Chain A
């Protein structure tokens, strides 16, 4: 199973959407709150060159924003049945 880390702030709705997406697809993940965890914030900036959440690390592939299509590809999740 892929190692997934999501960098979030508590007020970010796209982070909530990403976490809901993980829950729905039984993807386990580690969450790092970069609003308070400064080491995690630095880690996020180094990985993504971004100062904006969410940043999602799937086995060292960096996804910026809640990009469901890319996450589905990286995690091998089939598109939702219509």
Chain B
């Protein structure tokens, strides 16, 4: 029986692991991989204390810092699939690999993952013209016509990425405004090869050929209700994130977007014994530096609880 199981290997989970080890809490960190969502970032310029670091190097340094601690178990390569509360108030954490671990307290630092459109063709053509890692796959779309879906920073940066290769880029925006940095917005809107389509949602992704690849989409104007077809070769989906809270949805209170609601002074959730920090929580700003601070706040609060018990 652990005193604490920390779920997640991003900045929050690692920070909690380091603090738990230094407080000699009998703890384990369970994570699929290290680094969190910044892993795919080419350059992070706001990780405090470091001028610029790639997501890959940040992940390595986080893992290295955690592995340098003694007295903490690290279970890597495992996704948590369920958390159940027992009558005595302790928890059982189950993983996809079939492990079950017992613990008195749980800290959720499981972050979030890319949101999907949920339209026909999206899963079928994933990796066959549907792209979820723009930085990875943009270079494969040289000479092709593509659409980027989304209106935030990641969509705008995705457009600029793919413009280096593709001669024609449609930006499909659900509303009438772009979010994201004004400088990037201007760059995108003023580029001659970009066509911004406002009030537009994708309703279907289609493909054909042998082997099958994307050859078009069906889209709808949400104001007029008019549906049309658009021929293209790639769809880059950059519509933001959804929190990894599914495995605790019956235990803790979630907000309408699936974020775990916490008391922002202590990071405690609505379920006694469970804390949450970082992007999985209803924190106002999803930032690496904030996740670190909030996870430490949670760990210290858990430490206080352990000392008192």
Interface, chain A (partner B; CB < 8 A): 9-17, 34-36, 41, 45, 49-53, 64, 68-69, 79-80, 82
8 new A-B contacts at CB < 8 Å, known A13-B135, A50-B127, A79-B77: A11-B135, A13-B55, A14-B40, A14-B133, A14-B136, A51-B213, A52-B128, A53-B136
B40 and A13 contact, CB distance less than 8 A:
yes
A10 and B139 contact, CB distance less than 8 A:
yes
Interface, chain B (partner A; CB < 8 A): 39-40, 42, 54-56, 73-77, 127-129, 131, 133, 135-140, 161, 211-213, 234
- Return the chain B residue nearest A54 by Cβ: B136
B135 and A12 contact, CB distance less than 8 A:
yes
The answer for the CA separation of A11 and B131 in the assembled complex, in Å, is 14
Secondary structure at the B interface, as helix, strand, loop or mixed, is mixed
B136 and A15 contact, CB distance less than 8 A:
yes
Instruction: Sort A-B residue pairs by CB-CB distance and give the 7 closest, nearest first.
Output: A35-B139, A49-B211, A12-B136, A52-B127, A9-B139, A50-B127, A11-B135
The answer for the CA separation of A41 and B140 in the assembled complex, in Å, is 8
Give the shortest distance, in Å, between A40 (CB) and chain B (any CB). 11
Secondary structure at the A interface, as helix, strand, loop or mixed, is loop
- Return the chain B residue nearest A55 by Cβ: B127
B139 and A51 contact, CB distance less than 8 A:
no
Q: Give the interface centre of A11, A64, A69 by most chain B CB atoms within 10 Å.
A: A11
Give the shortest distance, in Å, between B39 (CB) and chain A (any CB). 6
27 contacts between A and B (CB under 8 A): A9-B137, A9-B140, A10-B139, A11-B42, A12-B133, A12-B136, A13-B40, A13-B54, A13-B55, A13-B56, A13-B135, A13-B136, A14-B40, A34-B139, A35-B140, A41-B140, A45-B211, A50-B128, A51-B140, A51-B234, A52-B133, A52-B136, A52-B137, A53-B137, A64-B127, A68-B77, A79-B77
- Chain A residue numbers with a CB within 8 Å of B42 are 11
The answer for the CA separation of A32 and B74 in the assembled complex, in Å, is 34
- Return the chain B residue nearest A48 by Cβ: B127
Q: Given that A11-B136, A12-B133, A12-B136 are contacting pairs, would A51 and B39 also be in contact in the complex, using a CB cutoff of 8 Å? A: no
- Chain B residue numbers with a CB within 8 Å of A80 are 76-77
- Chain B residue numbers with a CB within 8 Å of A13 are 39-40, 54-56, 135-136
- Chain B residue numbers with a CB within 8 Å of A34 are 139-140
- Chain A residue numbers with a CB within 8 Å of B133 are 12, 14, 52
The answer for the CA separation of A45 and B233 in the assembled complex, in Å, is 14
Among A12, A16, A51, which residue has its beta carbon within 8 angstroms of that of B128? A51
- Return the chain A residue nearest B214 by Cβ: A51
The answer for the CA separation of A3 and B73 in the assembled complex, in Å, is 35
- Chain B residue numbers with a CB within 8 Å of A52 are 127-128, 131, 133, 136-137, 140
- Chain A residue numbers with a CB within 8 Å of B77 are 68-69, 79-80
- Chain B residue numbers with a CB within 8 Å of A10 are 139
- Return the chain B residue nearest A11 by Cβ: B135
Give the shortest distance, in Å, between B207 (CB) and chain A (any CB). 11
